[in-house]
């Protein structure tokens, strides 16, 4: 049976995540301890105790979610459970890259610490927000955003999550206008998101430039497991310029819709989301109703899966 591992992105975090797994499994404990040592941050305290306000800062959120996903993954690996394909949503791509061997654990932790810092701090001063558009074709969403852009307003698609959901990002006032225009265009629902930064848009150009310098310090390896890129929904290849891909990842939309289509084309039967939340398997279910989906976020869900 063909299996894919899915790793969540920013927004999935919650205070207390990973605590029970850390306390029960030595493999998980080692991951938290090692990640804290490499990053010079108390990741355990951040994940287990918060406070929420601290955990929700981009510079903290990214490394906290990555460490939690990798801790759960380590327990699966210790039980000889592996996947044929790995994919992550935005930040989640780093867990996929570490799992595949493209990135070493140490380099992955160092990069994500820097990535979170730059994405959280090298931002324009304006007010930005995001919204999820449900039940409207992405081409129509692009059209609405384009019309508003012609009026000098900044709003663009940032996350193509699946065929029936796309997240848009932009200046707060432009997002409010887009919400009304998208409803008029036939969207079933438009929901304003808690995430505030203009992630995966050209507004993060400064963060991209700073991060590109960090990527220059890292050596990337040939993958042992197939990983799908967020950038275009295709597999990483041996001759890819990974540094360029990961730098551009910050300013380009996430194409999870294409990644899901590719996994279906590859006849993946079982999808296992590893980390906090259930967002990614929700997207899978919208595209492939017959797929087996599992979420592993704590001891209960982990042991339930191991008992299959």
Residues marked as catalytic:
90, 200
9: CB partners within 8 A, 6+ apart: 65, 88, 89, 90, 91, 92, 254
Q: How far apart are CA 102 and CA 87, in angstroms?
A: 13
- CA dist., res. 146 & res. 138, Å (int): 12
The answer to whether 273 and 280 are in contact (CB under 8 A) is yes
Concatenate the DSSP letters of all residues of 59-102 into one string.
HHHHHHHHHHHHHHHHHHHHTT---SEEEESTTHHHHHHHHHTS
Collapsing DSSP states into helix, strand and coil, what is residue 138?
helix
Count Cβ neighbours within 10 Å for each residue of 238-264 and write b for 16 or more, e otherwise. eebebbebbbebbbbbbbbbbbbbbbe
| Interatomic CA distance for residues 253 and 37, integer angstroms | 32
With H, G, I as helix, E, B as strand and everything else as coil, classify residue 51: coil
Residue 91's contacts (CB-CB under 8 Å, 6 or more residues apart) are: 8, 9, 10, 62, 65, 66, 112, 115, 116
Locus of tokens 């019309």: 147
SS (H, E, C) 163-225: CCEEEEEEEHHHHHHHHHHHHHCCCCEEEECCCCCCCCCHHHHHHHHHHHHHHCCCCCCCCCC
CB 1 within 8 A of CB 275: no
């Amino acid at each position: 049976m063909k299996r894919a591992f899915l790793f969540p992105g920013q927004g999935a975090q919650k205070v207390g995540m990973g605590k029970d797994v850390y306390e029960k499994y030595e493999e998980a404990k080692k991951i938290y301890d090692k990640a804290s040592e490499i990053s010079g941050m108390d990741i355990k305290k951040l994940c287990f105790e918060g406070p929420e306000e601290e955990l929700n800062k981009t510079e903290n959120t990214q490394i906290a979610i990555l460490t939690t996903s990798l801790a759960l993954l380590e327990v699966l690996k210790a039980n000889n459970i592996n996947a044929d394909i790995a994919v992550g949503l935005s930040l989640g791509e780093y867990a996929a890259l570490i799992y595949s061997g493209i990135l070493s654990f140490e380099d992955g932790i160092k990069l994500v610490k820097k990535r979170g810092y730059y994405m959280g701090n090298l931002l324009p001063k304006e007010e930005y927000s995001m919204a999820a558009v449900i039940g409207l074709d992405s081409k129509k969403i692009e059209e609405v955003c384009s019309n508003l852009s012609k009026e000098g307003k900044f709003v663009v698609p940032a996350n193509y999550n699946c065929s029936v959901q796309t997240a848009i990002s932009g200046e707060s006032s432009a997002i409010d206008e887009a919400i009304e225009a998208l409803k008029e265009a036939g969207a079933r629902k438009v929901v304003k998101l808690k995430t505030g930064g203009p992630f995966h848009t050209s507004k993060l150009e400064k963060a991209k430039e700073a991060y590109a310098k960090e990527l220059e310090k890292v050596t990337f390896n040939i993958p042992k497991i197939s990983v799908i890129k967020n950038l275009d929904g295709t597999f990483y290849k041996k001759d890819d310029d990974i540094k360029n891909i990961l730098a551009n990842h910050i300013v380009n939309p996430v194409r999870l819709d294409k990644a899901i289509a590719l996994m279906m084309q590859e006849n993946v039967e079982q999808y296992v989301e590893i980390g906090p939340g259930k967002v990614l398997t929700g997207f899978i279910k919208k595209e492939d109703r017959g797929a087996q989906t599992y979420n592993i976020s704590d001891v209960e869900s982990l042991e339930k899966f191991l008992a299959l």
